[in-house]
Amino acid sequence: MSKKSAAAAFDLASYGLTVAEVHRNLSPSALYEHAIRYEKDASIAENGALVAYSGAKTGRSPKDKRVVHSPESKDDVWWGPVNVPMDHQTFAINHQRAIDYLNTRERLYCFDGYAGWDSKNRIKVRVICSRPYHALFMHTMLIRPEREELAKFGTPDFVIYNAGAFPANRLTVGMGSPTSIDLCLEDKELVILGTEYAGEMKKGVFTVVNYLAPKRGVLSMHCSATADKETGASSLLFGLSGTGKTTLSADPKRNLIGDDEHCWSDDGIFNIEGGCYAKAINLTPESEPDIFQALRFGAVLENVVLDEEHDVDYTDTSITQNTRGAYPIEFIQNAKIPCVAGHPTDVIFLTCDAFGVLPPVSALSPAHAMYHFISGYTAKVAGTEMGVTEPQATFSPCFGGPFLVWHPNKYAELLARKMRKHKARVWLVNTGWGGGGYGVGKRISLKHTRAIIDAIHSGELARAKTDRDPVFGFDVVTECPGVPSKMLRAREAWADKAAYDKTAKKLAALFNKNFDTYADGVTNEVKAAAPRS
């Protein structure tokens, strides 16, 4: 063990760990060296990124997430398929199983970092793992403390025990598979068994923030954020996969605050993370130049395929379609460091409506904003998955359902309160189809969507004329620079008006059926914002 590693080692006896060789807060170069020495199949790509593999699991396992059901937090948690309860005894068994596995390793790695760029609202996170790849991943995704901050880091607020190479015991009560991701809010610990997919750590931290932040009146959000380069005023972009959230936040005219996880406090917004975790499938310097150049030394490429020259073949999905790249946010040229900004002037909900019913842009009242925030709508298109022969509606509450802890209404009420206090405008932007649904109409061009986003940021759309939509009840923007006026009126863009009316009612019914799940926890005002089906 090097002198630097020895000096960085510290006593983990209080965690039940007895491994002699512990490496704490190693630099990326040192973690590269350890990965090449000790990781199976780890290598360095020609672009300088560390290439590592997560084994059998190449994505998250949401059905295997468990939350300890305890007296202190049981009334706060939204129990159900997202937050499946487990008793503390089962958690203790899995916790001990993780400790026992980690104690069989020759060496362990520890990283101490922050979640949250706002020093008043950040939490201290400690990650304990046996793979250098996992340590480098969290070094990238958390906020990296300065040397002086590490010296006085003290007791962490949250600890992750990553023993993902070791399975859960399927005979343990409540275990549905060898994979188990177990969160105890009272013990402030996350235990990972049976999956080496690094994203479980990232989303485990986000889940904890989603619990702690609302208790302090801070809204935690699954969104990207940008800021005006001159005024510092921000805007938020919510959207599920395929809606354009990442692409539209890469705006050379604005500063990037973050691409995925943020909080809205009394002082403004701040990024929760110190890095970005981007999809790498079909990545090119033309399609995503900022991300492409960010994948260099210090970054992690996960489950990608290298050619003989060690160049990454981003088109090769033989391992998984969920190839990923993690990199420090400062690798993005227009990132604002520290990643904080003023209160949002605009909140934008992105949806890819494959039915072609929703207009390209609509203004939402506070009640409609809460309704569509809780709904979190987008659509899958035919041909993208086996058995999908026509557009299918997909809903994820608050645009981040798998990571919520409280009932969705808790986050929606916080959004509405902050929206009213800071006079933020809320918009619903359709990046999907117009003039007809998938197979009949056309996908709204990125050029037109960017024109809409620019007009939102400039304030032009706040002054534009609107019409009330008779089915969905929101205000449809009917004029926008650079966008044909006929296209802005969804019904007018359809050749077959009767087909539009029929499809609009169909989509409205899908909204209402989905919202029944959350209706008991919301106000009558929000219920009244439902579309007429």
Residue 385 has pLDDT above 50, yes or no: no
Q: For residue 385, what are the contacts with CB-CB under 8 A and spacing of at least 6?
A: none
For the purposes of burial, counting CB atoms within 10 Å of the CB of 45, is it exposed (0-12), middle (13-18) or buried (19 or more)?
buried
Distance (Å, whole) CA 259 – CA 6: 36
Residue tagged active-site, from 177, 231, 241, 485 = 241
- Please give the average per-residue pLDDT across 87-103, as a whole number: 98
397, 404 contact by CB (below 8 A) = yes
- Please give the average per-residue pLDDT across 378-396, as a whole number: 70
Residue 300 has pLDDT above 90, yes or no: yes
- Please give the average per-residue pLDDT across 90-111, as a whole number: 98
Beta bridge partners, 112, equal: 126
Mean pLDDT of the chain: 94
Residues 165-213 have pLDDT tens digits of 999 999 999 998 999 999 999 999 999 999 999 999 999 999 999 999 9
Residues 228-263 have pLDDT tens digits of 999 999 999 999 988 989 889 989 899 999 999 999
Q: What percent of the chain has pLDDT over 90?
A: 90
> Among this protein's residues, is 260 annotated catalytic?
yes
Residues 306-356 have pLDDT tens digits of 999 999 999 999 999 999 999 999 999 999 999 999 999 999 999 999 999
Residue tagged active-site, from 90, 246, 247, 323 = 246
Higher pLDDT, 337 or 386: 337
Residue tagged active-site, from 122, 134, 222, 457 = 222
Residue tagged active-site, from 112, 118, 259, 260 = 260
Distance (Å, whole) CA 83 – CA 85: 6
Residue tagged active-site, from 324, 336, 368, 425 = 324
The greatest distance separating any two alpha carbons of the chain, rounded to the nearest whole angstrom, comes to 76
Residue 6 has pLDDT above 60, yes or no: no
> Tokens 């809903």 identify what position?
395
Q: Which of these, 227, 209, 224, lies nearest to 260 by C-alpha position?
A: 224
320, 303 contact by CB (below 8 A) = yes
pLDDT score, position 344: 98
pLDDT score, position 9: 43
On whether the pTM is more than 0.85, the answer is yes
Residue tagged active-site, from 24, 34, 60, 407 = 60
> Among this protein's residues, is 241 annotated catalytic?
yes
> Among this protein's residues, is 324 annotated catalytic?
yes
Q: For residue 19, what are the contacts with CB-CB under 8 A and spacing of at least 6?
A: 12, 102, 103, 105, 106, 107, 108
Could you tell me the CA-to-CA distances from 43 to 50, 108, 125, 312 in Å, in that order?
6, 20, 28, 11
> Among this protein's residues, is 246 annotated catalytic?
yes
Residue tagged active-site, from 126, 245, 336, 457 = 245
pLDDT score, position 48: 98
Assigned token pair, 231: 């005024």
> Among this protein's residues, is 245 annotated catalytic?
yes
pLDDT score, position 4: 40
Residues 440-476 have pLDDT tens digits of 999 999 999 999 999 999 999 999 999 999 999 999 9
Residue tagged active-site, from 23, 24, 203, 343 = 203
> Lowest mean pLDDT: which of 126-130, 191-195, 390-394, 501-505?
390-394
